[in-house]
Amino acid sequence: MKNTPHWNADGWERGGGRTAHSAESYAAPRPPVSLFGRGGHPDRFMLALERVAARIEPLTSRWRPGRRSPSPTGDLTVRVARVERPARDVAALTLVPARPGVALPRWQPGHHVDVVLGDGVVRQYSLCGDPRDRTAYRIAVRRIDGGTGSGLAHALAEGDVLTLRGPRNAFPFARADRYLFVAGGIGVTPVLPMVRAAHAADRPFRFVYTGRSRESMPFLDALPAPSRDADVTVRPDDEYGPPDAAELLAGLSPGTAVYVCGPAPLIDALRRRVPPGTPFFSERFSPPPVVDGRRFEVRLGRAGPVLPVPEDESALDVVLRARPETAYSCRQGFCGTCRVGLLSGEPHNRDRPTGGSPRGAGFALCVSRADEGTRLVLDL
């Protein structure tokens, strides 16, 4: 089945086959019979629960909602107050509230903001400034050749107005007795506030900052001064060679929490070598890009609109634009939330449901596809 990845292949199934206790197997439960004593009698306790529910439903249907929680403040509008170039191909932006006198939401080391860069392009950037400063956020962006988001971010100038969402936390910084921080290149952005926080709290740490060369590594002038409890190492590849996971982890003592941000191979290499029981934190990856996708079509219901699914988008991306209320979650084909009924068509199922639950007749919008030019009719 070349070109059609099947995620149920070896390597994913670590033990356990299909469960006998799937959702489907309990889809039509029989009325409850007694569990105890001589079988066959209706279960009085369970039937009493039904009577309670049958009373509560009409009773509570007359209860009006209370005062709803206050609406969220929504998107943040900010102005670019300063643009700096702390390293080759790196832009550091200082963002202040567009309306003066407004305090920005609180954040912690590891938090990021979603930056709306226009044309539906939204990118996540770690906050790298001082969390105590409620008047400005700081982000830093490395320009990637051909990168849409980084290109737009680098085109920003002082005075430009932007929309932010968040801040949110995909890289939680938790209390530990001591820390090992490893940053690779622009991955220094979330790590730097963590290092400063550990330093301010007098927690011993080692911080290894890797990168291709000193010219490419931003914020070298903003690192804490080394001391007995603050072991700071700047380690450019062109001086020391590529980083070696074993060397980075040398001398790791129990109770140390390891925080890593940088290129994926660096994170993977460290993750594999960090001993069991040592907390390992890395920023979570974004959903995998669609690879080797073919263009196909989905129809939303037998009489609904027909939507094309381009090569580089998932059916979920397309359906969400038409039906923003569609539920989904993992975007990787394992949680089953976005599975919908398939009314007709030949799908390429690429999901790999957790726990061995059978896929049933469902079609996982987030990863599954169809042959080029064919149409699937979804029960939506």
Nearer to other proteins, 299 or 350 (CB): 350
Q: Can you tell me which of 36, 103, 250, 373 binds other proteins, judged by CB under 8 A?
A: 36
Residues 40-69 that bind other proteins (CB under 8 A): 43, 45-46, 49-50, 52-53, 56-58, 60-69
Q: Does 103 bind other proteins (CB under 8 A)?
A: no
Nearer to other proteins, 216 or 326 (CB): 326
Cα separation values, 319 from 306, 367, 377, 378, Å: 10, 13, 12, 10
User: Per-residue x/- mask for other proteins, residues 182 to 221, rule CB under 8 A?
Assistant: ----------------------------------------
Residues 331-360 that bind other proteins (CB under 8 A): 332, 334-337, 352-357
User: Per-residue x/- mask for other proteins, residues 244 to 283, rule CB under 8 A?
Assistant: -------------x------x--xx--xx---xxxxxxx-
Residue 164 CA to its chain's centroid (Å):
17
Q: Does 289 bind other proteins (CB under 8 A)?
A: yes
Q: Can you tell me which of 246, 250, 291, 303 binds other proteins, judged by CB under 8 A?
A: 291
Residue 13 CA to its chain's centroid (Å):
23
Q: Which two tokens stand for residue 95?
A: 């963002």
Spatial neighbors of 121 by CB under 8 A, at least 6 apart, are: 148, 149, 152
Q: Before 242, cis peptide (omega within 30)?
A: no
Nearer to other proteins, 150 or 256 (CB): 256
Cβ 164 to other proteins, closest distance in Å? Answer: 12
Total residues binding other proteins (CB under 8 A): 105
What is the rounded distance in angstroms from the CA atom of residue 300 to the CA atom of residue 294?
Answer: 19
Q: Can you tell me which of 12, 82, 161, 241 binds other proteins, judged by CB under 8 A?
A: 12
Which candidate, 3, 18, 2, places its Cα nearest to that of 352?
Answer: 18
Residues 256 and 179 sit within 8 Å (Cβ to Cβ): yes
Neighbours of 88 (CB within 10 A): 14
